[in-house]
Amino acid sequence: MVRVRFAPSPSGSLHVGGALTAVANRRFADEHGGTFLVRIDDTDPERSEIASEEAILNDLAWLGIKPDEPPIRQSARGDLYRQAADSLAERGLLTEDAGALRATTAWRPTLIRADGSATYHLASVVDDGELGITHVIRGRDHLSSTDLHVELARGLEYDIPEYVHHGLLVNADGKKLSKRDGATSVSALRDGGIPAEAVRAYLEELSVPKHDVQLDLSRLERLSIDAIAALEDADLVGRVGVSLRLAPALRGARTLKEGRAFADQIEAVPGRRELAEAEHVAIQRLIDLRERAPEQLDRDTAKALLREVKAVGGNLRTVREVLTGERRGPELWTVLYALDRDEMLSRLEQGLRP
């Protein structure tokens, strides 16, 4: 039976590249009716943080990536690693150096530190063997470790998993992503208002890339627009934190954060704007129409009112500025739809005052 794992180090937030690996493993398990595990690689206490571990697990949950078993923490498995080290030593595969235990290979990497804790190499191989991991799907930055891991697995008489190394997410220069490249962590994308569905869709599109892939924030934004458009009204306004009447105004937003800005634009009473005489036409016509319309407009009526204003030569940009104080924003009919009659008339009449 297929068993795969995602093994983040709790030394920072979940990187988009790490999320790519997590999605690839979750998808592979699902496609093969297998099991997906999350293993927290926290053998280095100086680099491990409880807050980071919690943040990573929360980010995975936000993306809809859930392990099939409770998360495993390497920090709780030290005895197992030490037993494995003793077994390797008995086979002549370890040598002691200044209190540390190293593999007897051309790299001579440290497997057990002087303080007795296991390093990534030994802990990872032991966990993969003990947990019955059948496929190791990870970034190609781990490719150089594979020969050592295979050698250690053989020395410990574990079944050797199949290794798959995918390309990395990189910046425009083909280099490893950094904070200078913008939103490169899952939390940064979430804080920027990108829905989880869009991030997950982007990572699913990439699948298991054979080569490095440039992070495409423009594609993420397009997927964000699609995801927002696909949300049910109640779900959408719940995520943004606004009333149901504002749902149509959020549809054209590129992010949930922009949707919140659209809502604020409609809800905030604009400051007074000095109108030219010719601009009074649009405002007066809309006042006349709105006074005769129902308390709450439906979508078709809101659009019809704007067509009537335009038919008399009214400038719809003026209408927007009087109602919201802004020159750009959500579709104008959604502003009319969101405002009740008294509030809209109050703003329009304010615009006509000398």
User: How far is it, in rounded angstroms, from Cα 336 to Cα 270?
Assistant: 15
Is 70 exceeded by the pLDDT of residue 46? no
Backbone torsions φ then ψ of 6, nearest 5 degrees = -115, 125
Which amino acid appears at position 118 of this protein? A
Which amino acid appears at position 280 of this protein? H
Give pLDDT, residue 179.
61
3-class secondary-structure state, position 15? strand
Domain boundaries, the chain: 3-181, 244-352
Strands annotated E in the chain: 3-6, 35-40, 72-73, 94-97, 100-103, 110-112, 135-139, 162-166, 169-170, 213-214
User: How far is it, in rounded angstroms, from Cα 271 to Cα 274?
Assistant: 10
Go through 238-266 and write b for each residue having 16 or more CB atoms within 10 A of its CB, e for each that does not.
ebbebeebbbbbbbbbbbbbbbbbbbebb
Is 90 exceeded by the pLDDT of residue 50? no
User: How far is it, in rounded angstroms, from Cα 343 to Cα 266?
Assistant: 11
pLDDT tens-digit map of 75-86: 999 999 999 999
Whole-Å CA distances, 265 to 261, 262, 279 = 6, 5, 21
Write the CB contacts of 175 (distance below 8 Å, at least 6 apart in sequence). none
Domain 3-181 sits in CATH 3.30.70.370: no
Residue 113: exposed, middle, or buried by beta-carbon count in 10 A (0-12, 13-18, 19+)? middle
Q: What percent of the chain has pLDDT over 70?
A: 97
What SS3 string covers 182-233? CCCEHHHHHHCCCCHHHHHHHHHHHCCCCCCEECCHHHHHHHHHHHHHHCCH
Give pLDDT, residue 93.
87
Give pLDDT, residue 275.
83
Average pLDDT over residues 171-185: 77
> Bridge-partner residues for 4, per DSSP?
36
pLDDT tens-digit map of 105-154: 768 899 998 888 899 999 999 999 999 999 999 999 999 999 999 999 99
Confidence of residue 336 (pLDDT cuts 50, 70, 90): very high
106 versus 92: which is more confidently predicted?
A: 92
Average pLDDT over residues 38-48: 81
Is 90 exceeded by the pLDDT of residue 176? no
Average pLDDT over residues 175-188: 78
pLDDT tens-digit map of 287-316: 999 999 999 999 999 999 999 999 998 899
User: How far is it, in rounded angstroms, from Cα 121 to Cα 113?
Assistant: 12
Give pLDDT, residue 291.
96
Confidence of residue 159 (pLDDT cuts 50, 70, 90): very high
User: How far is it, in rounded angstroms, from Cα 94 to Cα 196?
Assistant: 46
CA atoms within a 13 Å half-sphere pointing along the CA-CB vector of 222 = 5
Whole-Å CA distances, 293 to 152, 289, 303 = 78, 6, 12
Give the lowest-confidence range in 9-13, 44-48, 83-87, 158-162: 44-48
Give pLDDT, residue 182.
65
> Other CB atoms closer than 10 Å to residue 83's CB: what's the count?
12
Write the CB contacts of 317 (distance below 8 Å, at least 6 apart in sequence). 327
Average pLDDT, the chain: 92
What is the DSSP code string of 114-165? TTS-B-HHHHHHHHHHHTT--EEEEEGGGGGGHHHHHHHHHHTTPPPPEEEE
Confidence of residue 263 (pLDDT cuts 50, 70, 90): very high
Q: Tokens 């308390």 correspond to what residue?
A: 295
Backbone torsions φ then ψ of 37, nearest 5 degrees = -115, 155
Q: What percent of the chain has pLDDT over 90?
A: 77
